[in-house]
Amino acid sequence: EAQVTQNPRYLITVTGKKLTVTCSQNMNHEYMSWYRQDPGLGLRQIYYSMNVEVTDKGDVPEGYKVSRKEKRNFPLILESPSPNQTSLYFCASSSGTGEYEQYFGPGTRLTVT
């Protein structure tokens, strides 16, 4: 089954404790992206990657890092999480070759206390 998976689905952590949210897709997609979703604000893009070793900032990259060492994986790293990063996070992927439909993962709900 073609899908985007994220882990963990739920995470409660404390300020300053480094964490990684993993994202993996099995569709051989070139393009992957991370979004955060906050009440009333819709989805905002954090980072995206057009291919292996190619990443770029979205609209809200502050406080986040990403890496793309393999085509299928695109982890989101919070080196020092803060309470304002409490949010619902989505990973998405697309073929990246003129087809812009993005397939979304199920989401990761992060709470930073």
Interface positions with other proteins (CB under 8 A) = 4, 31, 33, 37, 39-45, 48, 50, 56, 58-59, 88, 90, 92, 94, 96, 98-107, 109
List, in sequence order, the alpha helices (H) in 1-113: none
Least CB distance from residue 39 to other proteins, whole Å?
A: 4
Cα Rg of the chain (Å, integer): 13
Residue 29 or residue 81: which is nearer to other proteins going by CB?
A: 29
Residue 51 or residue 80: which is nearer to other proteins going by CB?
A: 51
Residue 79 or residue 99: which is nearer to other proteins going by CB?
A: 99
Q: Give me the amino acid identity at 66.
A: V
In the three-class reduction of DSSP (H, G, I as helix; E, B as strand; rest coil), residue 83 is classed as helix
Q: Give me the amino acid identity at 13.
A: T
Pairing of strands 65-66, 10-13: unpaired
Least CB distance from residue 42 to other proteins, whole Å?
A: 4
